[in-house]
Structure 1
Amino acid sequence: MKVACVQLDIDFGNPQANFSKVEKKIREAALLGAKIVVLPEMWNTAYDLTRLNEIADVEGEQTKSLFKKLSKEYQISIVGGSVSTKKSGEFYNTMYVTNEAGEIVAEYDKAHLFKLMDEHHYLEAGNSKNLFDLAGIQMAGIICYDLRFPEWIRVHTLNGAKIVFVPAQWPDKRIDHWKILLQARAIENQCFIVAVNRVGSDPNNSFNGNSMIIAPWGEVLWVGGNEEMIQIVDVQIEQIEEVRTRIPVFSDRREELYK
């Protein structure tokens, strides 16, 4: 399964420019042979939170329309990072996922809001899991700060997720946390982690990429640099069964002790 990580700089508060760039990058990834294309967090507006009423994607319609069109055209799946949305008068940090037929198979609002970037002042938190099926494989998606909650990822892998996608705007000053947490989540959940971070800067933070794809043994299959790039990695799903057979963490759990 060829997965493309699209590591982007994002134009602060400029959805028009960002939609144009994302469409171009998705097309480029598809022509390079990707079957799943993965984007970073809040790529439509970045964290221009004070202007969300002007610039958030209303009901996600522009994002969904673009993803459905490109998925159909290239017969690819898109794990759409996340975008700022306005839904029923409230604002959210929302991930949309389309399959190869151009169907929306997942819509997820970020469950854990990050106070250091003021999300809690402007956004509403989601209240549902994010499990979906692509090419007959169960997968899951979380968003940035969700990564710091191991129980949240475990809920998804207990429900069958074999790949967990993690779009982010993770600042460079905490990039060591990013790398360690991603590797730990892959090892403890015996799954693939596909994480895409942005590059560039906004008025308050700098971002240095370091997007990663990590195998179930914890092996880092790829780590990005600090510039825009598209990287395609061939993910070997069968590795998961091997790891879970040799070290049967899931069957050895003692849930009665964990309450």
Structure 2
Amino acid sequence: MKEVRLGIVQSAIQIGQVKENLQMMDAMIHQVAQDAPDIIVLPETWNTGFMTGHDLIALADPNGSQMQELLSGWAKKLHVNIVGGSVDIEEHGKIYNRTYVYNREGELVSTYDKMHGFSPAKEDLYFTGGTQVHHFTLDGILCSSATCYDIRFPELIRKAALEGVELFFLPAQWPLLRLSHWKILNQARAIENQMFFCGVNGCGRIGKLPMAGHSLVVDPWGEIQLELDETAAVQTVTIDLEVVADIRAKINVFRDRKPTLY
């Protein structure tokens, strides 16, 4: 057995209410930590809420300093790895939708800037897109992550699988309107890449738009190991990563690929 306990934080972020959002996240992280997870995973843009517009630069965290201090402090105090969802930060006059990952000692182990801005919401006009993938190791497990809309670009996630990633995280603010897409895409990325896929979504509303919630953990066979509903909640689930090696041995799609032909 190669067990990992994941702690999921699904929260209803208030648009532009940074102080309130940080207080809420502090409470939810301490709540889920009571179940002794190995890794706590947060949703997308939990400091500001998912927003665009000129007010964003005033709300984004300068250089990510406050967000890094908080995440590092939580990880060290609770002795837990944290995949910090994503936060809006300002750096050199540009806005990034950034993920910070911390280990149990409170050390920063990786960062990722969301590559694909959601153009229907004009995210690409206000945020600077990332240019690099990231892989990181937590408790000896090779992991990776992307953010929300990135899930619609399978090449990005396939790259992680080809490099041996076993556990993939996707913080998001995905709307209820496309709940079926959310579930199907999470399952598809898990199946086609033969990895565990952990999608942690927001809930509540962005303006008048309801968020889907339904954070979920999917195994490499596409079976859902955990799924929340549409309300704010924390929950833990234990997964066995030996399933990854087993399926990759039984159905070796990576060996059978023909990249010279497509």
- Taking structure 2 as the reference length, what is the TM-score of the superposition? 0.96
Picking from 2, 7, 13, the partner of 1:4 is: 7
- The answer to whether 1:222 aligns with 2:246 is no
1:93 counterpart SS class: strand
Whether the aligned pair in 1 keeps the contact of 2:177 and 2:212 (CA below 8 Å) is no
What's the offset of the Cα at 1:89?
Answer: 1.1
1:97 maps to which residue?
101
Structural mapping, 1:241-256, within 5 Å: 241-256=245-260
1:66 maps to which residue?
70
Structural mapping, 1:164-175, within 5 Å: 164-175=168-179
1:199 counterpart SS class: coil
1:176 maps to which residue?
180
- Distance (whole Å) between structure 2 residues aligned to residue 178 and residue 257 of structure 1: 30
What's the offset of the Cα at 1:88?
Answer: 1.3
* Structure 1 residue runs without a partner (length 5+): none
- The answer to whether 1:257 aligns with 2:251 is no
What does the per-residue CA deviation read over 1:94-144, in whole Å, with 9 as the maximum and x for residues that have no partner?
111001111111111000110112101211100000211100111000000
2:133 counterpart SS class: coil
What's the offset of the Cα at 1:87?
Answer: 1.0
- The answer to whether 1:16 aligns with 2:19 is yes
What does the per-residue CA deviation read over 1:66-108, in whole Å, with 9 as the maximum and x for residues that have no partner?
1111111111000011011101110011111001111111111
What's the offset of the Cα at 1:47?
Answer: 2.4
What's the offset of the Cα at 1:204?
Answer: 4.8
Aligned residue pairs, count: 258
What's the offset of the Cα at 1:208?
Answer: 2.4
- Distance (whole Å) between structure 2 residues aligned to residue 107 and residue 257 of structure 1: 34
What's the offset of the Cα at 1:48?
Answer: 3.2
Structural mapping, 1:118-197, within 5 Å: 118-197=122-201
Letter in 1 for 2:252: P
Amino-acid identity (%): 39
- The answer to whether 1:75 aligns with 2:92 is no
What's the offset of the Cα at 1:188?
Answer: 0.3
- Distance (whole Å) between structure 1 residues aligned to residue 78 and residue 186 of structure 2: 30
1:213 maps to which residue?
217
- Taking structure 1 as the reference length, what is the TM-score of the superposition? 0.97
- Distance (whole Å) between structure 1 residues aligned to residue 191 and residue 57 of structure 2: 40
- Distance (whole Å) between structure 1 residues aligned to residue 208 and residue 114 of structure 2: 21
- Distance (whole Å) between structure 2 residues aligned to residue 121 and residue 256 of structure 1: 36
- Distance (whole Å) between structure 2 residues aligned to residue 215 and residue 86 of structure 1: 36
- Distance (whole Å) between structure 2 residues aligned to residue 191 and residue 205 of structure 1: 31
- Distance (whole Å) between structure 2 residues aligned to residue 246 and residue 204 of structure 1: 47
2:38 maps to which residue?
35
- Distance (whole Å) between structure 1 residues aligned to residue 50 and residue 243 of structure 2: 37
